[in-house]
Amino acid sequence: MRGRKEARTAPCIHDVGELAASAAATTTAAATAAAATGATGAGAATGAGAAVAGAGAAVTEAGAKAAAGAFLSAGLYPLPGLFLRGKAQALTKLVLRKVLRPYLSLILSPVLHLILGQNRACAKHPEGQGKSKRQLPDQHEHLLCCRYRGTMNHWHTSTFWSTATALTPGPKIDKGQGDQSPEVPMPFRRKKISIIGAGQVGATCALMAASRDMGDVVLLDRAEGTAKGKALDILQAGAVQLFDGTVHGTIDYADTAGSDVVVVTAGSPRRPGLTRDDLLAINAGVVSSCCREIRNTSPEAVVIMVTNPLDAMTFIAHRELGFPRQRVLGMAGVLDSARFRTFVAEELGVSVRDVQALVLGGHGDSMVPMPRHCFVGGVPLTQLLTPERIQALVERARRGGDEIVGLLATGSAYYAPAASIVQMAEAILRNQRRILPCAALLEGEYGVEGLFVGVPCLLGGGGLERVCEFELDETERAAFERSVAKVRALVDDLSRLGL
């Protein structure tokens, strides 16, 4: 308790020297005046006048407070000697010194401060030299630094002194002149993520992005009612889930202007009776149209492709956009590795958080899970499961999308794809520099040139920071090359179809 009290009542380190000097000067002046006039009532009053005169030389708040103390010492304490003797006199002086002095000093010091016209800032603050308190950037912080530390509570003391200082008339400030700049709000720009296609994947992606407060979300679809209705529904969910970003539905690409990240989910799903070439032709036209609009409205955006067949559509997007490879990516590996991690965690009965896995190659049944680089709590998967069980999990991960389509009968997966998109977008928008498997344009990495293939990528504020390479063994290299061959066949089909 004592240590706390001493810390609370200790003087400000800024004021120690000047407080001591001012107190010494004013006390000396008071003592000299009292000696010259005698210890009588008139002499005491004269001594108090001398103390006030000495306080006039003080140029700080501490000087005014010291002057108040000298005034009490010279003018108030001699009074009991005029009327009382013995123990009564001693008791009265004790009461004056211990009880009344803190409160009287608290009242007198700001009054003397006002009388002396002192309105200068603490000389120890570089930003305060030559300025009044009203010109200081943070008046409250300055007052707390220079507040009087007596036996009273800090809150009472600083509040009283702040009030007294606020009553002191200060110079009028023309904010357009001198070193005072006009008060303008600090500029702030929220991140913007636009999602092209308001289907199941696009709408779920919009909800997840908004709920993570990743920025303002624009949901675009050719069906205006669908885009606006889902956007409004997501926006109202913010009142429950407590996110602050805006969610706007539109059919106009102008509303997506200036996006930081654009996600393209628009396209036709694989339907019965629709051949592989038909799907390529339809979705190539959709992606080309979207990318021309994105290039005009958001020329600095990072584009994440989701439309299937993913590797071929990402190739078309890069061609139409004309962006550097750092700003055109395909979402594939994050989803494929998530499926593999899920099946491994389910097999071992552990948390999926403790499972790290890597998937390379094309998206879908040509992907290449890497069991040698899969770890569970830091332990290699190959030490936890037999090769037969691992191969069964690999095959299930390759058919993960088809398994969901078979169960739904009238649709395909959208929760896990949306979560994978958001993880990539968040790494870019927040410059997280995460290593995630994505479809990136290879320029010699892994021996591949000019194709979008799933590889480990470092994602940051500029999109693709770099492709992360590592050595593959013979089995992994053979599987990876088979996957790359399927991607190359898709691109060749685009040329054959004139797309």
Catalytic residues: 363
Q: Which two tokens mark 26?
A: 């004013």
In contact, 299 and 328? CB cutoff 8 Å? no
Q: Which of 372, 339, 357 is nearest to 437 (CA)?
A: 357
DSSP secondary-structure letter at 133? Answer: G
Contact assessment for residue 298 and residue 194, using Cβ atoms and an 8 Å cutoff: yes
Phi, psi of 449 (to 5 degrees): -130, 125
- Is 395:402 a contact under the CB 8 Å cutoff? no
Report d(CA 363, CA 313) in Å as an integer: 12
Residues 226, 444: Cα–Cα separation, whole Å: 43
CB 348 within 8 A of CB 357: no
Question: What is the β-pairing status of strands 379-380 and 375-376?
Answer: antiparallel
Over the Cα atoms of the chain, what is R_g?
38
Q: Residue 33 in contact with residue 50, Cβ under 8 Å?
A: yes
Percentages (nearest 5) of helix, strand, coil residues in the chain: 55, 15, 30
